Structure 1
Amino acid sequence: MTIHDEAATPTRHMEPIRHDNLLINFTTEFHRIWDSAGSRAKPAAFWRPTPAPDALPGYFPLGDVIAAGFDNLNNASAVAVVVCEAQVASTDPAKGKALSRPDDFELIWKDSGSGSKKDGAIWRPIPPEGYVALGCVCSNDHDKPSLNAVRCVRADLVTASKVNELIWSDKGSGAKQSVSVWSIAPPVAAPGETHLAPGIAISDNGYARPESFSAYSLRMPIALKMNARPVAPTLNGRIPPSELDTSTHTAKLPWFTIKDPLLTPLEQLRSSPFYLLQRTDRYLLVGHEHNPESANRTFRWTAPRVQGPASLLIFARATSVKFEGQWQSSMPTAMAFSAHLEDDFTQSKPHSTEWFNSIPMEIIAFAPKNRTVAVYLIQSDYRLLRADGTPVTDSFSYTDGNSLHITEYTPEEPETITPSLQTMAAPVTPPITETAKPVTAVQPEPPIATVTDSET
């Protein structure tokens, strides 16, 4: 079997996405295997993702890509997924390698009788036990492809998917056999995961939608770094501290999950192969007061919530990322995905409506005598950054109504000055009239704060 057509200018190397011992990367380099020129079928061509060995050594395609027309895919907007075996073994040694060659190929269709200018055939890889094939393979003759043309993936690294839309069929070609080629729709992703349909072709005999066809998408974890909450502030005087602790959490998102208003998908792959969604938590002062009186006092403050439906909607429209659930493919490419951030990171707990609650909070604090009290809430500021650190869109924030923190300061009692021995007069012993009674110390009451929603 031979392949032809010029290759693309290599895309710069990017850090692979790792799932256990599977490495996932992307290429814009292809070789054309076969096209329908000369037949009466719609124009289409099958392309083999072929990453340059110096850029992505050891990477293999998962199947061939089909594109309408005969235009060259190289240096265009086409991107294909390629995979590699990691040098580190699986976390579970019993699972074995992430990738395997197919055991054999099953013929799906060949062009005999179509009148096409070149011989061609479509094959389905037969995976070994414990592995699955994600796409079909084309040949530019009627012989089986090489077993090294494609790789099968271990079953626990993929997720079952559905057949989506018809890409091409040989209808009208005059071939003795019939074939249709379909895209894949990934299922809803679990929190903390991305499911990616790699955009390769899957084929079946005939023109009807395959009902019992086994289709798969790759599973990818979303790299997430969560840190401890910021240290709660304390009062060491009547003036609240000016410098407060912060804590930043980061979700690393692959380029294809982000709609960048300034970059095309191909430009994203080349200049920003990943994006950082950062959340910075900080305590914000709601209010503070000193109670100089000899009785308890009540203080009231109103704390605004900074979140609301408008901020989420603007962010989702600009980037495609949704905080309250799934987000899916929005770019003009054959690849499709579904993704879901961790609920702890987005603070979108199941059945919670706090992201849509913009009602200010009324906070009431009870301060004992001669004490200063301060009340704080945590605000989380989110921003989405490209690989070079530039922001993709405006940042937005969230007020955690459950993070109420109150701290108080009690000044020390003035010291009692005792006269020195040199100036003390001779002590006079008073007459004892009754037995001295013990003195019970009265502990000051701790400050109390409550929070309620305010409609005003």
Structure 2
Amino acid sequence: MEILEFKDLRIGFTTQFALQWNDKGSGGKRDGAYWRPVAIGNLNGYHPLGDYGVGNYNDVNGQAAVAVVSDVNGPSGNALRPPLDYELVWTDKGSGSDRDGSMWRPLPPPGYVALGLVCNNGYGKPAVDIIRCVRADLVIASLIGNLVWDDTGTGADRDFGSWEISPPGAPAGEVYLSPGTYVGVASHTKPNIDPNAYGLRLQIPLTRFDPPPTPVLHGYSKPTGFEQSTVTFISNLSWFMVNDPNLQPAAQLVKSPVYRLERTDKYTLIGFGYNETSADQSFVWSVTNGVNGNSSKSFTSTTGIEIGGEWTLGPIFKASAKLNQSFSYTTSSSSGWDHSTTRTVNVVVPVKKAVAAFAIESTYKLFRADGTQVSTNVSYSDGDNIYWTQYPPSEKFNLKVNIE
């Protein structure tokens, strides 16, 4: 199982649950059940952030995954605190359900927030130690998402509705994710805001390297189209950030908890000119900026990942993510990922000089933990940045260049 860290918060994921309550026998319009995440194995010492709700009676063990948390610094840390108390939101009294159940809102200590409701088997108040509240700087205020379940038709004394937590759009280099909990109110009307609507935050790890060695002309001959030196950048993506066509979401957590998105850079030749005449000579080349072909659309449709922008994922795990801007060429604009543009390069080469122009071409590949590749490659040409080299070399580089 993958363990993630954000500041002093440690985040794991469990696929094991214990049923707390369902509405069987209530005669409700919808089926609904609520489950308690169970942290076992290498997750001993982790705590749920709330319970997990579904609009059916299916066994969710091994089929769903939710976040559980611990403090990097152990019991002495301050990333987590148990709630001070609970306030009652709803009970199923009057519903005729086969079992008794109740919904409770955790009341966090000052400086902390609760990230979901707790469903109790019976009408008693839950123990404060079963969940944890999170320090406010470790979470992000989130939106209220789709309906999980409401008690329409059950005949309960009071109305109740519950909804998913949906994270907002993430900034570059970060991930916002719903912990898998739910919010709820004593009403069938979806609220605009809720005191428990928070998501978790993560940063996308990026291994940085220096760019590939710059090409150098060593004579008057035209260089090959591609330089041989390459450099690979790596961005590691957690399982819930990828739609894997060969794995069900819960299986990703076990078989490929981390995906490796590689960007391999190399210089490609834009144009070469050798002026053998007795006067300055003009050369005209073209340079492409952006993605090559329809590879970007194919990659996104297969994996769900938008290399050039923010993307959202579900249904098993609600998350939004955006790659680091330097990794995705979107520091100034993301238009290159929608379509490529071709520009004309006009260069005036001095007498008895050879000049070559290069641009970096980046190839993106996505790999599972076992090394198998997901989807096709994506290639991107950085036509905004052209590298020039001349022969014979000179301290002064007096080229007249015009790019249209």
* Structure 1 and Structure 2 fold alike (TM over 0.5): yes
Q: Does 1:50 align with 2:33?
A: no
User: TM-score of the superposition, structure 1-length normalised?
Assistant: 0.80
Change (3 A) 1:357 1:196: closer
Name the CA distance, whole Å, in 2 between partners of 1:225 and 1:40: 55
Conserved? CA contact 2:289–2:340, under 8 Å = yes
Task: Please name the residue that 2:20 is paired with.
Answer: 33
Name the CA distance, whole Å, in 1 between partners of 2:206 and 2:363: 17
3-state DSSP class of the match of 1:395?
Answer: strand
Q: Residue by residue, what CA displacement relative to the aligned partner does 1:35-64 show, whole Å, maximum 9, x if unpaired? A: 222323343221111021x32121111111
Conserved? CA contact 2:290–2:383, under 8 Å = no
Change (3 A) 1:447 1:29: same
**Counterpart amino acid of 2:351?**
K
**Counterpart amino acid of 2:132?**
R
CA shift, 1:305, in A, is: 4.8
3-state DSSP class of the match of 1:238?
Answer: coil
Name the CA distance, whole Å, in 2 between partners of 1:225 and 1:311: 24
Name the CA distance, whole Å, in 2 between partners of 1:372 and 1:134: 65
Conserved? CA contact 2:227–2:268, under 8 Å = no
Name the CA distance, whole Å, in 1 between partners of 2:335 and 2:36: 47
Task: Please name the residue that 1:452 is paired with.
Answer: 403
Task: Please name the residue that 1:79 is paired with.
Answer: 65
Name the CA distance, whole Å, in 1 between partners of 2:340 and 2:378: 13
Residue of structure 2 aligned with 1:332, choices 315, 337, 343: 315
Q: How do 1:56-75 and structure 2 match up within 5 A?
A: 56-75=43-62
Q: Residue by residue, what CA displacement relative to the aligned partner does 1:146-204 show, whole Å, maximum 9, x if unpaired? A: 22211111111111112222211223323323321111221121121111112212221
Name the CA distance, whole Å, in 1 between partners of 2:96 and 2:253: 39
Task: Please name the residue that 2:219 is paired with.
Answer: 237
Conserved? CA contact 1:101–1:147, under 8 Å = yes
3-state DSSP class of the match of 1:382?
Answer: strand
CA shift, 1:265, in A, is: 0.8
Residue of structure 1 aligned with 2:163, choices 177, 182, 185: 182
Task: Please name the residue that 1:209 is paired with.
Answer: 190
3-state DSSP class of the match of 1:266?
Answer: helix
Name the CA distance, whole Å, in 1 between partners of 2:289 and 2:31: 56
Change (3 A) 1:238 1:178: same
After TM superposition, the structure 1 stretch with the greater mean CA deviation from structure 2, 19-28 or 269-278, is: 269-278
Task: Please name the residue that 2:111 is paired with.
Answer: 130
Change (3 A) 1:246 1:447: farther
Q: How do 1:13-28 and structure 2 match up within 5 A?
A: 13-14=1-2, 16-28=3-15
**Counterpart amino acid of 1:290?**
Y
3-state DSSP class of the match of 2:97?
Answer: coil
Name the CA distance, whole Å, in 2 between partners of 1:279 and 1:88: 37
3-state DSSP class of the match of 1:55?
Answer: helix
Q: Percent identity?
A: 38
Residue of structure 1 aligned with 2:269, choices 285, 300, 304: 285
Task: Please name the residue that 1:421 is paired with.
Answer: none
Name the CA distance, whole Å, in 2 between partners of 1:316 and 1:62: 31
Residue of structure 1 aligned with 2:124, choices 102, 118, 143: 143
Residue of structure 2 aligned with 1:383, choices 365, 375, 384: 365
Task: Please name the residue that 1:157 is paired with.
Answer: 138
Residue of structure 1 aligned with 2:376, choices 390, 394, 397: 394
After TM superposition, the structure 1 stretch with the greater mean CA deviation from structure 2, 372-381 or 300-309, is: 300-309
Name the CA distance, whole Å, in 1 between partners of 2:396 and 2:101: 87
Task: Please name the residue that 2:259 is paired with.
Answer: 275
CA shift, 1:66, in A, is: 1.5
Name the CA distance, whole Å, in 2 between partners of 1:230 and 1:197: 39
**Counterpart amino acid of 1:46?**
Y
Conserved? CA contact 1:373–1:447, under 8 Å = no
Residue of structure 2 aligned with 1:170, choices 126, 144, 151: 151
Report which structure shows greater RCO (CA 8 Å, sep ≥6). Answer: 2
Name the CA distance, whole Å, in 2 between partners of 1:255 and 1:444: 51
After superposition, the CA RMSD in angstroms is: 2.6
3-state DSSP class of the match of 1:401?
Answer: coil
CA shift, 1:368, in A, is: 2.9
Gaps of 5+ in 2: none
Conserved? CA contact 2:204–2:323, under 8 Å = yes
Conserved? CA contact 1:289–1:299, under 8 Å = yes
**Counterpart amino acid of 2:145?**
N
**Counterpart amino acid of 1:49?**
P
Equivalenced residues, count: 400
After TM superposition, the structure 1 stretch with the greater mean CA deviation from structure 2, 205-214 or 56-65, is: 205-214
Name the CA distance, whole Å, in 2 between partners of 1:221 and 1:403: 28
Residue of structure 1 aligned with 2:327, choices 295, 320, 345: 345
Gaps of 5+ in 1: 1-12, 91-95, 412-442
CA shift, 1:216, in A, is: 0.9
User: TM-score of the superposition, structure 2-length normalised?
Assistant: 0.90
Change (3 A) 1:359 1:171: closer
Name the CA distance, whole Å, in 2 between partners of 1:320 and 1:350: 23
Q: Residue by residue, what CA displacement relative to the aligned partner does 1:113-148 show, whole Å, maximum 9, x if unpaired? A: 322232221111111111111111111122221222
Name the CA distance, whole Å, in 2 between partners of 1:43 and 1:358: 49
In proportion to residue count, which structure has more strand? 2
Name the CA distance, whole Å, in 2 between partners of 1:89 and 1:114: 41
**Counterpart amino acid of 2:299?**
F
Q: Does 1:374 align with 2:325?
A: no
Residue of structure 2 aligned with 1:364, choices 343, 346, 350: 346
